[in-house]
Amino acid sequence: MEKLLACVAIGIVVLTAAPIHAQNPDPAAQTHHTYEACTKLYTDLDFKQAEGCFAAFVAQNPTNPQANDAVRLHLECVLKSQNATNAEKVAQKYLDDPVLSQNQDIVKTCQDAIVHIHWSRCEAFYSQSDFKNAASCFEDLATKHPATAMTDKALNNAAVAFSKSNQPNKALAAYRTLYTQHPDSMHAEEALRYSIVILKKEGQPDKAIKLMQTAIQRYPKSDYSVDLSLELMAMHAQAKRFELAAQHAEGFTRRYPRHEHTATAALWQGLWWEKAGKPVKAIKSHQRFIKTHRRADTNMLATAWVALARLHRLQTGSAQQAQQAAQRALKLVGARPDDIQPDVAAEAFFIMGQLEHDKTRAVKLNITNPDDLTKALKKRMKLLKDTEALYIKVISHGSVQWSVAALYSAGMLYTEMADEMRDTPVPPGMDANTYRQAIENFAVNIENKGHEFIAVAAEKAEETQLQTEYAKRARQAHDAITKGP
């Protein structure tokens, strides 16, 4: 009986109504009865009959409170008949109707239906691995419907599909629209992330860096921003932009004072300030690191002390502070040798060797009094042996770069002394030739030992293809020795 009444209702509308909505709506009771009949057809899964019934109800009662539900169920019936194209046309027809389009609920229902139909079509392309058409489909959806709940996801899917179809520039454009026009989207951070990946892959590091900075500013508490901050430091350092690297490291320590990588960033901050030619900032950074991160990794603490020793010796000229810092590093080496990297331990001994080397140079041999010269030579030889012993300790730690530096420096230790001995003035009352011959015999032996150290340094540098400054000096010195004057 219910189906019969529904069919009658449909027949009346078909015969009397030319436009979508009729001019003379049914009385309230008949209207309600008609809607209930349509609903009964829907719940009985008679979608074909229900489709016509709901269409007739909407046409006859466009301003009825139940019109929106009727539109929604009408579209569902069309979709359940596996006719998405027709459902999209029906929804658009409702949107074009001058009366129905005044009802915002109906407008939203129809727009949502069109978006979902369009979405399903895009997903079909994607599921078939037709990424080119899927990308265009999702992009078209986002363009036609820029303010729906699905727009941001459509842009994200378009970008992913563009990437999979080897269209990086279009992927970047879709991601850019997503994170600029939909900054609150759950996909916005992901869009920035993958844009950065694409830019790096496409060889555009500067643009990648700008986006990395944007991501860090927008999402400072995100785990991804932490990773980006660390990567950003490394990228600047790799490009030898050490001042920027140090600045980002400083920013990291402020933003994440308790993060597991904060100590690492703080240590590198000082090292990068040094490479940037900012010794005062480097010293302050290392001092702050040692004070703030007392429980840091032993090797990191030793590295900071070694850096301070190096900076004081080469930059501030304070031998005392350099020695104190080097001794603090060596104290850690002695206490926990297995926790210290060979390069760190070796450099600490090398700096101690250099400080002792400086003391050796300070003992001058340009003395005319034979007794004073003898005393100076003895003192110089003792310091020379002490310095050599420290350089030998450097080599014992197995660091290639510092072994070469120590071998070269040991060689120079001896050759410098030989040169100075040759320049000593002839004491009064002594035969010049006799004196010069005696000095030369002594100087040659010392010089030969220096040449042996330099030869080993050059050989080791060549074997390992080491390209440090000391390796370069060792090769040049050895070449000068073998070629002769």
Cβ(282)–Cβ(304) below 8 Å: no
For every one of its 485 residues, what pLDDT tens digit does the chain have, with 9 covering 90 and above? 344 333 433 333 333 333 455 455 546 767 888 899 999 999 999 999 998 999 999 998 899 889 999 999 999 888 887 777 788 898 899 999 999 989 999 999 999 888 998 999 999 999 999 999 999 999 999 999 998 889 999 999 999 999 999 999 999 999 999 999 999 999 999 999 999 999 999 999 999 999 999 999 999 888 888 999 999 999 999 999 999 999 999 999 998 999 999 999 999 999 999 999 999 999 999 999 999 999 999 999 999 999 999 999 999 989 999 999 999 999 999 888 888 999 999 999 999 999 999 999 999 988 888 889 889 999 999 999 999 999 999 999 999 999 999 999 999 999 999 999 999 999 888 899 999 999 999 999 999 999 999 999 999 999 999 999 999 999 999 999 998 66
Question: Which positions ≥6 away from 449 have C-beta within 8 Å?
Answer: 414
Which of 244, 161, 175 lies closest to 206 in space, CA to CA? 244
Cβ(163)–Cβ(198) below 8 Å: yes
8-state DSSP, 171: H
Handedness of CA 427, 431, 436, 437 (dihedral sign): negative
Which of 299, 261, 264, 305 lies closest to 283 in space, CA to CA? 305
Residue 323 is assigned to a structural domain of this protein? no
Q: Burial, 252: exposed, middle or buried (Cβ in 10 Å; 0-12, 13-18, 19+)?
A: buried
Residue 278 is assigned to a structural domain of this protein? no
Residue 475 is assigned to a structural domain of this protein? yes
Cβ(193)–Cβ(231) below 8 Å: no
What value, to the nearest 5°, has the Cα angle with vertex 122 and ends 118 and 128? Answer: 150
**DSSP secondary structure letters along 196-248:** HHHHHHTT-HHHHHHHHHHHHHH-TTSHHHHHHHHHHHHHHHHTT-HHHHHHH
| pLDDT at residue 25 in the model | 54
Q: What is the pTM of this model?
A: 0.71
Residue 438 is assigned to a structural domain of this protein? yes
| pLDDT at residue 433 in the model | 93
- Looking from the CA of 289 toward its CB, the CA atoms found within 13 Å total 33
Q: Is 130 helix (H, G, I), strand (E, B) or coil?
A: coil
Q: How far apart are CA 310 and CA 409, in angstroms?
A: 16
Cβ(230)–Cβ(252) below 8 Å: yes
| pLDDT at residue 18 in the model | 36
> How many domains would you assign to the chain?
1
| pLDDT at residue 24 in the model | 54
| pLDDT at residue 30 in the model | 75
Residue 409 is assigned to a structural domain of this protein? yes
Residue 66 is assigned to a structural domain of this protein? no
Residue 466 is assigned to a structural domain of this protein? yes
Which of 371, 392, 373, 391 lies closest to 381 in space, CA to CA? 373
Q: How far apart are CA 440 and CA 443, in angstroms?
A: 5
Instruction: Compute the CA torsion angle 254, 255, 259, 263 (nearest 10 deg).
Output: -30
Question: Which positions ≥6 away from 64 have C-beta within 8 Å?
Answer: 25, 31, 35, 57, 70
Cβ(391)–Cβ(410) below 8 Å: yes
Instruction: Compute the CA torsion angle 352, 357, 362, 364 (nearest 10 deg).
Output: 160
Q: Is 337 helix (H, G, I), strand (E, B) or coil?
A: helix
Radius of gyration, CA atoms only, the chain = 42
Q: How many CB atoms lie within 10 A of CB 78?
A: 25
Domain that holds residue 464: 361-485
Q: How far apart are CA 417 and CA 413, in angstroms?
A: 7
Q: How many CB atoms lie within 10 A of CB 409?
A: 25
* 340 CA to centre of own chain: 27
| pLDDT at residue 300 in the model | 96
Which of 96, 89, 95, 122 lies closest to 109 in space, CA to CA? 95
Residue 260 is assigned to a structural domain of this protein? no
Q: Is 1 helix (H, G, I), strand (E, B) or coil?
A: coil
| pLDDT at residue 395 in the model | 95
